[in-house]
Amino acid sequence: MQNIIEAIDKLASEKPEAVAYQSETETFSYQILRQWSNSLAYFLNQHVAAEKPIVVFGELEFEMIASFLGSVKSGHAYIPIESNTPLDRIQLILEVAQPAMILSVLPWPAEIPLEIPVLTPTDLAEVFNSEQEPIELQPVSEDETFYIIFTSGTTGVPKGVQISHKNLLSFTNWDLKDFGIKTGMRFLSQAPYSFDLSVMSVYPALCSGGTLVPVEKSVINDFKKLFEFLPKLALEVWVSTPSFIDICLMEKTFDGEHVPSLKIFQFCGEELTRKTAKELLTRFPNAKIFNTYGPTEATVAMTQIEVTDELLTTYDRVPIGYIKEDTEVLIYDGDQEVSEGEAGEIIIKGPSVSKGYMHNPEKTAAAFFEIDGVPAYHTGDAGRLHVDGLLLYEGRIDFQVKLHGFRIELEDIDHHLEKVSYVKQATVVPKYQNHKVQQLVAYVVVNDNDFEKAYQLTKAIKEELGEGVMEYMIPQKFIYVEHLPLTANGKIDRKRLINEVNS
Ligand code: AMP
């Protein structure tokens, strides 16, 4: 495949009635996907200045997918924003991104005053269904930015990772080749589109004539509904974080006997523990189970390994796998490559490495560089590369963590926590179990206040913090202290607190 947009449109010509998206209540064909995205592209071409990106606001609706494709067909990168994002965070994203337009698949929060034009859900539906005059379009191609995904930033301002058409193409071609995906399979679409894990469902499905099958948050949050729902979906390709499958495995009947359609499991985004991997092998003996690894900055994932009983007896941590063909991994100690087999920082070099963070030259320069003219990225992950090319993961070298698959910079939470009116100083640390973060613990020095009980204070702090950060970034436990420990050079000693909560 040479071009993502052309590949999806070709499928619409060859098999117009094939199902591109099927939710509980709605079914959309490839033909509709092409029609809607074309109508939107013609509209954007006439109404929106070139260059600037387009924000697409909603959850897992089909209109989100049609908006993504409409944007890139008209030459604009798109930025997915989940509708439950706190207003302050949306503001920060808009300040960085300076989008040309907002396509609101779900109603845009009225509290945000804007100069940027917003298409309401009704306007958008009208555009999709309108007869627009076909015009020559210049879709996003090569190194032009296809999408921008915002991730947690250490300064409290989210970083926009810019992924080009070339980056996405490199990822999608690999994903369609290395995992046994065949034409017309049914893919679980569970991760919000603002997380790059969702890309592992969207483009492999749409470029292989497959069907996206969304499982919305309202279902996930109601386990009874979720467990009734899952077997009915006839899913063939499962894409999720290990944390999500852990929830599903709570249901005893979630196995190959009751859900025989499942053939391929792809996990990414956080440690796949041996316990989860073992349970999956027992429950789904006829499926293929893959661990994959990669940061958003290198387009979703770039290593993979099939989990087998033998693998689990050989390694005490599930390896993150073999590197995709067009990419290279180097292990660095600072700026120097280490000797073979030694531990150090994982550096990714290849065509799926992003051009950097949007409008953020400082952070871009700190993490991205070139090796022999090829883009390279400092992952901040510690790892070890075996002689046979197998990559092993050994944690982080900084204070980024994964909680239930969500990527969080602890400094991002500290920053927003210290802005809370009751807080004088704060540091957040992770509590681990089996190499996975179970809980975030906040150590807080508070200002004088009138709360009688600590839980009342905690409730008030959590409420105020929730205005600035995503719900998953709110610490589960608060410990109130007189002062925070300092290192010899006067910085807050986070490592000491990490040892304290994990001892
Ligand atoms: P994200 O950008 O949200 O995809 O997060 C990327 C980070 O998640 C990586 O840098 C790793 O720290 C972690 N990660 C991703 N996949 C795995 C995996 N299979 N095992 C362990 N950690 C992972």
Q: What is the pLDDT at residue 189?
A: 98
Residue 291 is labelled as binding a ligand: yes
Contact in structure between 184 and 212 (CB atoms under 8 Å): no
- Pairing, β 211-214 against β 186-189: parallel
65: CA distance to ligand 1 center in Å?
Answer: 25
Q: Are residues 296 and 340 in the same domain?
A: no
> Once rounded to an integer, what is the mean pLDDT over residues 169-194?
98
CA–CA gap between residue 442 and residue 174 (Å, rounded): 40
Q: Whose CA is nearest to atom 5 of ligand 1?
A: 295
* pLDDT digits 0-9 by tens, 64-100: 999 999 999 999 999 999 999 999 999 999 999 999 9
CA–CA gap between residue 5 and residue 75 (Å, rounded): 11
Q: Are residues 372 and 441 in the same domain?
A: no
What band does 12 get if pLDDT is binned at 50, 70 and 90? very high
Specify if 320 maps to a domain. Answer: no
Q: What is the pLDDT at residue 274?
A: 96
Q: What is the pLDDT at residue 340?
A: 87
Q: What is the pLDDT at residue 215?
A: 96
Specify if 62 maps to a domain. Answer: yes
The count of other CB atoms within 10 Å of the CB of residue 129 is 10
User: Which of 359, 376, 396 marks a domain boundary?
Assistant: 396
Specify if 313 maps to a domain. Answer: no
CA–CA gap between residue 393 and residue 317 (Å, rounded): 8
* pLDDT digits 0-9 by tens, 457-499: 999 999 999 999 999 999 999 999 999 999 988 889 999 999 9
Q: Is the pLDDT of residue 367 over 80?
A: yes
Cα→Cα distances 170→187, 300, 316, 352, Å: 20, 11, 31, 6
Specify if 314 maps to a domain. Answer: no
Q: Are residues 274 and 408 in the same domain?
A: no
Specify if 36 maps to a domain. Answer: yes
Specify if 300 maps to a domain. Answer: yes
Residue with tokens 């992003």: 354
What band does 40 get if pLDDT is binned at 50, 70 and 90? very high
Q: How many domains does the chain have?
A: 3
Q: Is the pLDDT of residue 57 over 80?
A: yes
User: Which of 396, 429, 458 marks a domain boundary?
Assistant: 396
Query: Best substitution site from 270, 324, 346 to test ligand 1's pocket, by max atoms within 8 Å of Cβ?
Result: 270
Q: Are residues 120 and 132 in the same domain?
A: yes
The count of other CB atoms within 10 Å of the CB of residue 45 is 19
Query: What tokens were used for 415?
Result: 């920053």
Q: What is the pTM of this model?
A: 0.96
Average pLDDT over all residues of the chain: 96
Residue with tokens 């640390």: 429
Which of 214, 223, 153 is closest to 189 using CA atoms? Answer: 214
Q: Provide DSSP, 172-198.
A: HHHHHHHS---TT-EEEE-S-TTSGGG
Q: Whose CA is nearest to atom 19 of ligand 1?
A: 293
> Once rounded to an integer, what is the mean pLDDT over residues 433-446?
95
Contact in structure between 229 and 219 (CB atoms under 8 Å): yes
Query: Best substitution site from 271, 384, 399, 437 to test ligand 1's pocket, by max atoms within 8 Å of Cβ?
Result: 271
CA–CA gap between residue 159 and residue 151 (Å, rounded): 5
Residue 85 is labelled as binding a ligand: no
What band does 134 get if pLDDT is binned at 50, 70 and 90? confident
Q: Are residues 386 and 451 in the same domain?
A: no
295: CA distance to ligand 1 center in Å?
Answer: 6
Residue 394 is labelled as binding a ligand: yes
Q: Are residues 76 and 93 in the same domain?
A: yes
Q: Is the pLDDT of residue 437 over 90?
A: yes
Contact in structure between 243 and 268 (CB atoms under 8 Å): no
Specify if 315 maps to a domain. Answer: no
DSSP letter assigned to residue 447: P
Q: What percent of the chain has pLDDT over 70?
A: 100
41: CA distance to ligand 1 center in Å?
Answer: 34
Q: What percent of the chain has pLDDT over 90?
A: 95
Domain membership of residue 415 as a residue range: 400-501
Q: Is the pLDDT of residue 113 over 80?
A: no
Q: What is the pLDDT at residue 326?
A: 98
Q: Whose CA is nearest to atom 4 of ligand 1?
A: 295
- Pairing, β 211-214 against β 374-385: unpaired
CA–CA gap between residue 343 and residue 329 (Å, rounded): 13
Q: Are residues 408 and 386 in the same domain?
A: no
Q: Is the pLDDT of residue 61 over 80?
A: yes
| CATH number for the domain harbouring residue 345 | 2.30.38.10
| CATH number for the domain harbouring residue 427 | 3.30.300.30
Q: What is the pLDDT at residue 369?
A: 98
**Which residues have CB under 6 Å of ligand 1?**
151, 196, 268-272, 291, 293, 295-296, 320, 379, 381, 393, 396, 402, 407
DSSP letter assigned to residue 486: B
Q: Which atom of ligand 1 is nearest to the CA of 379?
A: 10
What band does 251 get if pLDDT is binned at 50, 70 and 90? very high
Q: Are residues 356 and 267 in the same domain?
A: no
The count of other CB atoms within 10 Å of the CB of residue 25 is 5
Specify if 80 maps to a domain. Answer: yes
Q: Are residues 284 and 425 in the same domain?
A: no
